[in-house]
């Protein structure tokens, strides 16, 4: 790469559940995209690269609506919720190599009001790489949806390392605490205690309802360009110090892995930290893709914040809530802010590094990470710096 790439624009719609956004998924994403482009101080016509989220629109549609007359780079990373962060890596490569000047990465959906969230579980095929395997070998037994797939992994972690429901509860509580400081968070005003968590309904043991991410409507987007071009723009650029992605093995089947806890981020994290020349100890915050509580714990372990098996103790000792030594998901994450497919994690990291996070600002935040998680454990991670 010729120098570094930066995130120069962020944009979001409002996040909501009932009664729903009232917009199409494309319209939502265009709104967020327009705000991100505006935030960067760019004209929409200057966007010449677009990286849509898998199955949520095509670059052509975005370009035609936004008026991107010079589109020359279009790609989608097929990693589900790991796609936005993985796209940062490709966007950085594209903008520093000259393949594109300004790359837009949008994501958004009507996860609450649209049919997609519920349809995913009602129809007999899934929009994931292992769809046929799931259809032929999982779904006949009612093993039909992500919380169930990951619950069996969480149970193994509990069995092998003594991880407890209380550890998962601590994550759920911390995410809610963060959300109380975020005006955009759907769960603002709805604090929970560990007792509330323990009393909440079991969904798929060991996952309770409060272990699971929200279903919401909303979209977010970022704009990436090279550091060189960023200098000419009005805002404070946030540097993509490194970004990496990886897949578990095998990636299309979740049960026959020799090492059940080795997921995409296990491969990606050493690469990202190595390239950035930093260690987990150096970061001021972590935005961890929190589809379910256990996945937060697992990614903290696999990223190297603590040894494998020690995630439960790490969360309790270090503190991941507001004021903790490692604030995780200061916006509240998928568990308490909104489910924006991981894009709002990037937006929040940028806000923290710009020092624009208001009452939830991490003091002196200079370095942070953001991860993505998708499908059967695909992973991505970016190290971002002020």
Partner 1 sequence: MADFLKEDIEMLIDGVLPWPAVQEMMRDAKDTDRFDKYVEILQSRVDFSEPILLPLTPSLFIVAKNKDRVVKCRCGHDFGDYRINWKVSALIYVRDTKESIGEVFKGREMPDPEWCQIREYICPGCGTQLEVEAVPRGCPPDFDFLPDLDTFYDEWLNRPLRKRFEYRDKTLDEVSQWEERTYNKPIPVLEGFTKQFYRFCRKGELRFQRCKECGTWRHVPREMCPECGSFKWRWERSSGRGTVFSWTVAERALHPQFADDTPYAPTVVEMEEGVRILTEIVDCEPDELEIGTPVEVVFDEVTNKVTLPKFRLSRSAIRRARTVPVESLELPPTIHYDKSDRVAIITIDRPDAMNALTKDMLGALDRAFADFNDDDRLWVAILTGTGDRAFCTGMDLKEAIPLLTNGDQLGYEDPTKRQFSEVYKQIIAAINGHCIAGGLEMVAGTDLRVAAENATFGLGEVRWGLVPAGGSHIRIPRQIPWVIAIELLLTGEPISAQRAYEVGLVNRVVPSSELMSTAFDLADKICKNGPLAVRTSKEIAVRALGVEPGFVLEKTLAKKVFSSEDAKEGPRAFAEKRKPDFKGE
What is the rounded distance in angstroms from the CA atom of residue 151 to the CA atom of residue 172?
A: 15
Between residues 38 and 249, which has the closer beta carbon with respect to partner 1? 249
The DSSP call for residue 306 is: S
Strand ranges across the sheet with 238-246: 73-74, 49-50, 102-110, 217-226, 5-12, 238-246, 378-385, 367-374, 285-287
| Smallest separation (angstroms) from partner 1 to the CB of 377 | 15
Please state the closest distance from residue 213 (CB atom) to partner 1, in A: 14
Neighbours of 206 (CB within 10 A): 19
Q: How far is the CB of 138 from partner 1 (least distance, A)?
A: 5
34 vs 131 by CB, closer to partner 1: 131
Task: Identify which of residues 38 and 148 has a Cβ nearer to partner 1 in the complex.
Answer: 148
Place of tokens 């990496």: 244
Peptide bond into 234 cis (omega under 30): no
Nearer to partner 1 (CB atom), residue 250 or residue 270 = 250
Which of residues 205 and 317 has its CB atom nearest to partner 1 in the complex? 205
**Contact by Cβ (8 Å): 224, 95:** yes
Three-state secondary-structure class, residue 383: strand
- Which of 26, 21, 89, 32 has the alpha carbon at shortest distance from 55? 26
How far apart CA 212 and CA 206 sit, in angstroms, is 11
Q: What distances in angstroms separate CA 103 from CA 22, 43, 111, 329, one per listed residue?
A: 27, 12, 25, 25
What residue ranges bind partner 1 (CB under 8 A)? Answer: 121-122, 124, 132-133, 135-145, 147-148, 151-153, 155-156, 159, 201-207, 250, 253, 255-256
Task: Report the residue number, 199 or 205, with the smaller CB distance to partner 1.
Answer: 205
Min separation Cβ 250 and partner 1, Å? 7
| Residue with smaller CB distance to partner 1, 69 or 124 | 124
**Contact present, 209 and 189 (Cβ < 8 Å):** no
Shortest approach of partner 1 to residue 152 CB, angstroms? 4
The CB-of-215 to partner 1 minimum distance in angstroms stands at 12
381: alpha, beta or left, given left = phi > 0 and alpha = psi -120 to 50?
beta
Minimum distance of partner 1 from residue 294's CB (angstroms)? 12
Q: What residues form DSSP beta bridges with 107?
A: 220
What are the DSSP calls for 341-381, one per residue? TTHHHHHHHHHHHHT--GGGPPTT--EEEEEEEETTTEEEE
Distance CA 269, CA 328 (A): 16
Question: Can you tell me the distance from the alpha carbon of 83 to that of 56, in angstroms, rounded to the nearest whole number?
Answer: 12
Residue owning tokens 């360009």 = 225
In the complex, the smallest distance separating the C-beta of residue 28 from partner 1, rounded to whole angstroms, is: 25
State residue 23 phi and psi, 5-degree precision: -120, 165
How near is the Cβ of 132 to partner 1 at its closest, in Å? 8
Pick the closer one to partner 1 by CB: 1 or 132: 132
Q: Which is nearer to partner 1, 204 or 227 (CB)?
A: 204
């Amino acid at each position: 790469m010729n120098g570094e790439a930066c995130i120069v624009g962020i944009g979001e719609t409002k996040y909501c559940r009932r009664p729903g956004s009232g917009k199409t998924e494309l319209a939502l994403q265009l709104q967020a995209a327009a705000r991100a482009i505006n935030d960067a101080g760019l004209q929409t016509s200057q966007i010449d690269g677009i990286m849509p989220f898998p199955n949520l629109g095509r670059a052509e549609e975005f370009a035609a609506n936004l008026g991107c007359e010079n589109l020359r780079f279009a790609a989608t990373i097929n990693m589900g919720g790991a796609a936005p962060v993985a796209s940062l890596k490709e966007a950085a490569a594209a903008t520093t190599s000259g393949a594109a000047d300004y790359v837009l990465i949008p994501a958004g959906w009507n996860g609450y009001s649209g049919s997609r969230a519920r349809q995913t579980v009602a129809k007999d095929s899934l929009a994931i790489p292992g769809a046929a395997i799931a259809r032929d070998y999982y779904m006949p037994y009612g093993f039909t949806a992500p919380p169930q797939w990951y619950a069996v992994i969480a149970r193994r972690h509990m069995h092998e390392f003594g991880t407890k429901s209380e550890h998962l509860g601590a994550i759920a509580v911390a995410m809610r605490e963060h959300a109380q400081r975020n005006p955009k968070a759907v769960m603002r005003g709805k604090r929970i205690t560990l007792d509330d968590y323990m009393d909440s309904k079991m969904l798929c043991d060991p996952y309770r309802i409060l272990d699971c991410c929200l279903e919401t409507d909303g979209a977010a987007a970022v704009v990436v360009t090279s550091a060189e071009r960023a200098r000419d723009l009005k805002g404070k650029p946030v540097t993509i110090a490194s970004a990496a992605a990886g897949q578990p093995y095998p990636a299309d089947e979740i049960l026959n892995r020799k090492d059940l806890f080795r997921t995409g981020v296990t491969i990606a994290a050493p690469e990202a930290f190595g390239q950035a020349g930093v260690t987990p100890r150096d970061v001021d915050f972590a935005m961890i893709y929190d589809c379910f509580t256990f996945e937060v714990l697992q990614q903290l372990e696999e990223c190297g914040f603590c040894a494998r098996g020690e995630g439960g103790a790490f969360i309790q000792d270090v503190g991941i809530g507001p004021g903790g030594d490692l604030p995780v998901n200061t916006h509240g994450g998928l568990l308490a802010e909104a489910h924006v497919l991981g894009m709002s994690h990037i937006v929040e990291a940028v806000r923290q590094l710009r020092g624009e996070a208001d009452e939830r600002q991490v003091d002196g935040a200079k370095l942070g990470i953001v991860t993505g998680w998708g499908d059967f454990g695909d992973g991505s991670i970016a190290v971002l710096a002020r």
